[in-house]
Structure 1
Amino acid sequence: MFTNKEEFKENFLKKLEMMCGKSFGESTKRDHYFTLGNMVREYVSTNWINTNERYRTAREKQVYYLSIEFLLGRLLHHNLLNLGLVDVVKKGLEDLGIDLYELEEIEPDAGLGNGGLGRLAACFMDSLASLNFPGHGCGIRYKHGLFEQKIVDGYQVELPEQWLRHGHVWEVRRADLAIEVPFWGNVETKMENGKLVFRHEHTEKITAVPYDLPIAGFQTETVNTLRLWNAEPSPYPIHQDILTYKRETESVSEFLYPDDTHDRGKILRLKQQYFLVSASIRSIIRSFRKQVGDLYSLSQHIAIHINDTHPVLAIPELMRVLLDEEDMSWNDAWEITINTISYTNHTTLSEALEKWPVRIFQPLLPRIYMIVEEINERFCRLLWDQYPGDWQHIERMAIIAHHEIKMAHLALVGSYSVNGVAALHTEILKIREMNNFYQIFPQKFNNKTNGITHRRWLLKANPLLAKLITEGIGDKWIREPERLCMLAQFKEDFSFLEQLSRVKQHNKRRLADRITMQTGMSINTESIFDIQVKRLHAYKRQLLNILHVMYLYNRLKEDSTFQMHPRTFIFGAKASPGYYYAKKIIKLIHTVADKVNKDVRTNERLKVVFLENYRVSLAEEIFPSADISEQISTASKEASGTGNMKFMMNGAITVGTLDGANIEMKEKAGADNIFIFGLPAEQVLNYDQNGGYHSMEYYYHDKRIRQVMDQLTNGFFPDSDNEFEPIFDSLLIENDQYFVLRDFDSYSAIQAQAGKVYENQNQWRKMSLMNIAGSGYFSSDRTIKEYAKDIWNINPGHY
């Protein structure tokens, strides 16, 4: 379509006039963005069509990755980078007086995810295509995403994300491939030709319309597909109140994670999950029938992967299709299902392992409930053979028990592979959380430590660092990120370390400008940028961080001999709309920030910043600028983490617990290049199981803790009244579930150590370099190769 900037300019101007019906002189920046976006999408279309044709004719095994989230971020620069077009487009636009960066800023972040779960899925899509693996994603096209976060008087306020207000340039609507998804109704059972037949009747149907996005690999001809399903009214609804039906239908793809603290929200979430898997499974089967035909060989040609428990209904839905639509026997359908579906577990938190009340599940999905019930019956018979007479053991492992359906149990029984996402996490699953299942299915369990796409989080987000790395070790690291280990040769090279420091300072200035623009606050770029950005949850312990900030403020105010290097604490996080406690922590962060930042006696040495509406595009500015990466979850509670890897890859030093992937990061970077503190996982698990922790003891015996705890409720913060009593009570009255007070002393000590080391800039730069050098292992390319070989049994194409 274009190979040089002159061709690009000519095509750009023609395309703009055709699309917008106006001359270049009358056009706007948004016109320029949509013109360029359409040109790029058309540019990949030929390879997209060719890729799908290769898959169809070669009949090679493909993987479908089902996820409730795909946190893509902006795609314009990412696609230009992968297609090798950045320089041509940038120079061509400059000739026309257009700044490519300004066009990139017009693109909204696609509102399709919340945190690490969705970002992992997006990184996996990039790696699959870049490594030429035949792999596609299936998700939901949320109209308003999670929410747009606004902070008003320190409180989180949720507004609908309007990312689709102007359309989405990357998607192609495929109305011809729409699928009807049924809900409610009843199941008629009768004998036909000597066989029991099930018919789901009097249903309320929702039309799932696919919107396909091309996922272009990095400088390769492979273009895979991310298929997002949009919920639309059926052309022939069986519904008396059409307006109510239309509103309820469209709500299925309106918001990610609707509030499920009430039955209406639970029904909507369950609808979303079945909507995703029913449309995806039937789409996969339809495509497979055209390409291969013989469904008995499905598992030889197709791998279906479920990302956490949200898509677990893929198991009974595949069974339903094979039983009711393909007329298979139970045994044949089950054999195909358990050899086709694999499952990733992302948590050790019991509250995050979904359970659905039968009273909600059965009427909404009557045929699926029958199948789940039969799976449960057959599994319990197997357990009876293993543990005859041990009803309690069988009850603990049953898929349906106490009027609840346990989705993790269904996933464990109905899949051929169950993987954790970090070495520690997988061991906890095997030894503790899922030990009962491990005893029966040891061959299913394996570990696949998470990874991130270094193309977005280093090459795109930190171009100056990427350039410096290439100057040092060549550019083969872009395709082979494990080559980053070669950077270790420069740890005694003063000139290289000085250049590394200059890159960091440039990135800190960029983020400081962003902070000034958003908040009006002036930031000292010579201060330590100490950053914690992630989903707001009690176990991630943003609370420990801000209580330590309060302690530092007290020291600065009360101890004239206390010295500390200036430090800027930066937070970014969204709290789930129904998560009252997490919202209180956001309010506390802002209340502390207000007091600290206004105090002229201390604000030269201590500042607190909260960046609202944390998202991928903002993260791309944050990670390169960090000096310290806060990874301070309670040990054993964070399955892996991926933000920790992004910080590491950009040269930040981790202050963290021995949790999730932090353990493997310590191994790769070296124990001297990370700051570890806090309870180990074994001790946390022991406390959880056997008790013995009394948070009140730490309150009474540590005056630092007593002071900051009292300040939550004693009027230290003006006009706060009883605002922070829930936090006070959770830590003392409710015994501090996540051991914030237990780890406070250790955390304070390691933070003091980190501050002292930072003042020895030569040592700090070496530590930073060794983190970058050790980060290649955490590329999602490595992770995907492991999934492809050990779980999916798919091979890369050679084109």
Structure 2
Amino acid sequence: MFTDKKAFKAAFLQRLEQSSGLSFEHSTLQHQYQTLGMMVREHVSTNWIASNEESRKGDHKEVYYLSIEFLLGRLLVSSLVNLGVKDLVEDGLSDLGINLSELEEAEADAGLGNGGLGRLAACFLDSMASLSLAGHGHGIRYKHGLFEQKIVNGYQVELPEQWLRNGNVWEIRKADLAVEVPYWGEVKWTEKDGRMIFTHEKAETVLAVPFDMPVIGFDTERVNTLRLWGAEPAKHFPPHKDFMQYKRDTEQISEFLYPDDMSDEGKILRLKQQYFLVRSSLESILRDYKEDHDDLTELHEHVAIHINDTHPALAIPELMRILMDEEGMGWEEAWSIVTGTISYTNHTILSEALEKWSVDLFRPLFPRIFLIIEEINRRFCEDLWEAYPGDWDRIESMAVIAHGFVKMAHLSIVGSHSINGVARLHTEILKMREMKNFHEFYPDRFNNKTNGITHRRWLLQANPELTSLINETIGTGWVKDTEKLNDLVKHADDAAFQYKIDQIKHDKKRILADLIQEKNGIQVNPDSIFDVQIKRLHAYKRQLLNIMHVMHLYNKMKEDSSFKPHPQTFIFGAKAAPGYHYAKKVIKLIHSVANLVNYDPVSKDYLTVVFLENYRVSLAEKIIPATNISEQISTASKEASGTGNMKFMMNGALTLGTLDGANVEIEELTGPEHIFIFGLTAQEVMKYEKHGGYHSYDYYHGDPRLKKIIDQFTSGFFPDTFYDFEMISDSLLMENDQYFLLKDFDAYVRAQEKAAEAYQDKKRWLNSSIHNIARSGYFSSDRTIRQYADEIWGL
């Protein structure tokens, strides 16, 4: 059906009528999207089946990537790109009067993730398939994603995200492969032939039903699987419980991504989700393994299981349970297999963000799993005692269970053979500070795998015009080997090439300006600097520092009529977690500043502030190609890596940021002249945190610009607020500015001035932009996945 345009059009029209029961003239965009999606899925089904058969029959190793999030974005166009039929389909649809871009809008963003963690998992799946590696994803089929964000009078309002409203054309429900997942109950044990036999009784069981989605590789016949588990009532529901209550409790497990865990009920629901994911995934993995292998002692030679952060850490005790309770292995044999099979990626250096769960909640919910974790902890503490006799403080700090909590990062480290960070700086901080004791005990387990992004979505799909220009200039070899983008450096000073780069960027800015006009009713100057910060809203990411700089520029214009900065449009996109009140206040502040600067005659031609609501993958695909300045301004040492910084770089934006996460490696690749670095280093931040000596009031009293801005938060300067920003003011002064905004403010202002000055030298700016595109090839997720495959998974 995709051999030529004529065959495609005939197949499309026939399939549309058959599937919708409507003539083409009466069909809607939704019908047309569903038809094309169905055609793509059917087209790859032969290769999908063949890939699965090859995986099972062959001797090569398979990896299963367990993640609580997969932020996939829309799949239609990326599938057409990977299959190499996008141009054919676009031409065929055009003949029928259908615009592919409009058709794409009929597809919902799959609501299966929140931010960088989930987007990374999606990029990794794409790379595994594109490199023809047998690598599959396991996650949860959330009925509702994080939430749909609406802004009402500057305040964030959360609505249910209903990405499944029109179904999901990419999935196949496989009820025959459902798995039972037990909670609660009690554990009984007996002794038989010298070993203890454990049975889990009186459990409340739910059914995990798999929904499989194809993961289509680029220019390869490899099609992997993303298996998402949905929670449904089991055949036998608990007799002591009302059926409707049981049904509600069950379906809640896969209802929402990240339920609010401020209450015990929310915590229990999160724990249920985590065990739901690992129990069903491991049952599925081992069922497939046993079809072609008789010896489970060789599991780690044929299977790699990777846990993406600590959410799937229960895979460690669960695999132990299966090997011991169901397969009859002893502890040492089972433990050797588990640690040889499982590897772990750490994603945070914020110690307060490391997962831990109260024993009081954990033990009754997972009675058998808790016993296994207790034994893991006992044996590990014995090993520590042998290594560090008498060092109680060290043993206490490293224990898997301590002070009434199960520590999931500790469990992940102890139960895996590899622990990796996601940027070189992040890994060094883990080794030298956050996980120092573990690194000393397991020096060979720690390694770095700097994150990457799939250039197929973030360049080929998001910016086809730039892709075409690169192809014309250096050929198409870079699409398979992104390091070949380095060849663009030779063209960095070519006036004709610079002109074309400039035109593409300007066209993308004009398209984004039209979108902003449509969505926000704000007129944006495409000739202004597009300065963009799009990411999850969190104090350490310092969106507050960004908007404080805008307030500084506005104040300066009001004080000095001769001051006219280069026109600059500050674009924000971010969701604040529903219970994160501070982050919500920052969103309100951004809108309050926008209401001032966008309409004041003094500033409106020079400063524009835009907040694009409901930030998501499909919106990022429109914003990133239009960006001039990429804001990566987290407090140094707090951002594990970042991947937005890589997407902006690949599309020719210049980074303005701290030496944090992967920014360090971006600066090394581009050279310091093609990036704007400012602020405290990670070492300086950690020194303040360890030894003190930072007093935010000194900066408040010592810098009139800061005093004025902070006073404006609470002085009635913003007429639309009622004590809204006291929390922000208190965080900077009363709480001593935990993320060093005031310390870095002056350096940030100077970096902004330097960037604005550089932008006005067009030739210099375009030279830097081309250098960024050229050096971005290193940050392809293909490179990252090759390193995982070679150095961790042994694929």
In the other structure, the counterpart of 1:153 is 153
AA in 2 matched with 1:316: P
Q: Equivalents in 1 of 2:62, 2:409: separation in Å?
A: 25
Give structure 2 stretches of 5+ with no counterpart: none
Return the offset for 1:347: 0.7
Q: Equivalents in 2 of 1:753, 1:563: separation in Å?
A: 15
AA in 2 matched with 1:413: V
Which stretch of the first structure deviates more once superposed, 269-278 or 21-30? 21-30
Q: Equivalents in 2 of 1:687, 1:174: separation in Å?
A: 54
Q: In structure 1, the residue corresponding to 2:128 is in which secondary structure? A: helix
Q: Equivalents in 1 of 2:391, 2:725: separation in Å?
A: 47
Q: Equivalents in 2 of 1:314, 1:247: separation in Å?
A: 26
- Give yes or no for the alignment of 1:539 onto 2:536: no
Deviations 1:487-523 (A, max 9, x none): 0001121110011000000100111111011011110
Return the offset for 1:235: 1.3
In the other structure, the counterpart of 2:13 is 13
CA contact (8 A) 1:482 1:776 kept: yes
Kindly report structure 1 stretches of 4+ aligned residues shifted beyond 3 Å.
none
CA contact (8 A) 2:488 2:771 kept: yes
TM-score (norm 2): 0.99
AA in 1 matched with 2:789: A
- Give yes or no for the alignment of 1:307 onto 2:346: no
In the other structure, the counterpart of 2:76 is 76
In the other structure, the counterpart of 1:426 is 427
Aligned ranges 1:242-253 → 2 under 5 Å: 242-253=243-254
In the other structure, the counterpart of 1:128 is 128
- Give yes or no for the alignment of 1:198 onto 2:198: yes
In the other structure, the counterpart of 1:48 is 48
CA contact (8 A) 2:592 2:720 kept: no
Q: Equivalents in 1 of 2:103, 2:21: separation in Å?
A: 20
In the other structure, the counterpart of 2:168 is 168
Deviations 1:562-606 (A, max 9, x none): 231100000000001111111111111111111111112211000
In the other structure, the counterpart of 2:456 is 455
Q: In structure 1, the residue corresponding to 2:610 is in which secondary structure? A: strand
Return the offset for 1:85: 1.0
Q: Equivalents in 2 of 1:127, 1:174: separation in Å?
A: 25
Q: Equivalents in 2 of 1:532, 1:25: separation in Å?
A: 43
Return the offset for 1:689: 0.9
In the other structure, the counterpart of 1:797 is none
Q: In structure 2, the residue corresponding to 1:741 is in which secondary structure? A: helix
- CA root-mean-square deviation: 0.7
Return the offset for 1:52: 0.6
Return the offset for 1:725: 0.2
Q: Equivalents in 2 of 1:269, 1:20: separation in Å?
A: 39
Q: In structure 2, the residue corresponding to 1:276 is in which secondary structure? A: helix
In the other structure, the counterpart of 1:187 is 187
CA contact (8 A) 1:59 1:291 kept: no
Q: In structure 2, the residue corresponding to 1:232 is in which secondary structure? A: strand
Deviations 1:287-346 (A, max 9, x none): 101121210000000000000011111100100110111111011100000000000001
Aligned ranges 1:509-658 → 2 under 5 Å: 509-658=510-659
Q: Equivalents in 1 of 2:181, 2:648: separation in Å?
A: 42
Deviations 1:437-467 (A, max 9, x none): 0011000000000000000000100111111
Which stretch of the first structure deviates more once superposed, 656-665 or 237-246? 237-246
- Give yes or no for the alignment of 1:225 onto 2:213: no
AA in 1 matched with 2:285: I
Return the offset for 1:117: 0.3
Deviations 1:599-657 (A, max 9, x none): 12211000100000000000000110000000000000000000000000000000000
Q: Equivalents in 2 of 1:616, 1:544: separation in Å?
A: 24
- Give yes or no for the alignment of 1:786 onto 2:787: yes
Return the offset for 1:89: 1.0
Deviations 1:531-583 (A, max 9, x none): 00000000000000011110010011111222311000000000011111111
- Give yes or no for the alignment of 1:30 onto 2:45: no
Q: Equivalents in 2 of 1:128, 1:293: separation in Å?
A: 27
CA contact (8 A) 2:631 2:655 kept: yes
CA contact (8 A) 1:59 1:292 kept: no
In the other structure, the counterpart of 1:331 is 332
Return the offset for 1:219: 1.1
Aligned ranges 1:170-569 → 2 under 5 Å: 170-239=170-239, 240-569=241-570
Deviations 1:44-74 (A, max 9, x none): 0000001111111113100000000000000
AA in 2 matched with 1:699: Y
Which stretch of the first structure deviates more once superposed, 1-10 or 707-716? 1-10
AA in 1 matched with 2:200: H
Q: In structure 2, the residue corresponding to 1:565 is in which secondary structure? A: coil
The percent of aligned pairs where both chains have the same amino acid is 63
In the other structure, the counterpart of 2:686 is 685
CA contact (8 A) 2:564 2:606 kept: no
Q: In structure 2, the residue corresponding to 1:630 is in which secondary structure? A: strand
Q: In structure 1, the residue corresponding to 2:145 is in which secondary structure? A: coil
CA contact (8 A) 1:6 1:92 kept: yes
Q: Equivalents in 2 of 1:148, 1:397: separation in Å?
A: 39
Return the offset for 1:754: 0.6
AA in 1 matched with 2:58: A
Q: Equivalents in 2 of 1:531, 1:99: separation in Å?
A: 29
Q: Equivalents in 1 of 2:601, 2:249: separation in Å?
A: 54
In the other structure, the counterpart of 2:88 is 88
AA in 1 matched with 2:591: H
Which stretch of the first structure deviates more once superposed, 24-33 or 107-116? 24-33
In the other structure, the counterpart of 1:725 is 726
AA in 1 matched with 2:453: I
Q: Equivalents in 1 of 2:550, 2:237: separation in Å?
A: 57
Which stretch of the first structure deviates more once superposed, 61-70 or 591-600? 591-600
Q: In structure 2, the residue corresponding to 1:39 is in which secondary structure? A: helix
Return the offset for 1:2: 3.1
CA contact (8 A) 2:355 2:407 kept: yes
AA in 2 matched with 1:189: W
AA in 2 matched with 1:353: L
AA in 1 matched with 2:226: L
Q: Equivalents in 1 of 2:685, 2:121: separation in Å?
A: 30
Q: Equivalents in 2 of 1:247, 1:769: separation in Å?
A: 54
Which stretch of the first structure deviates more once superposed, 237-246 or 32-41? 237-246
Q: Equivalents in 2 of 1:649, 1:227: separation in Å?
A: 30
Q: In structure 2, the residue corresponding to 1:227 is in which secondary structure? A: strand
Deviations 1:659-710 (A, max 9, x none): 0000000011111000000000001001111111000000000000000000
Q: Equivalents in 2 of 1:719, 1:753: separation in Å?
A: 33
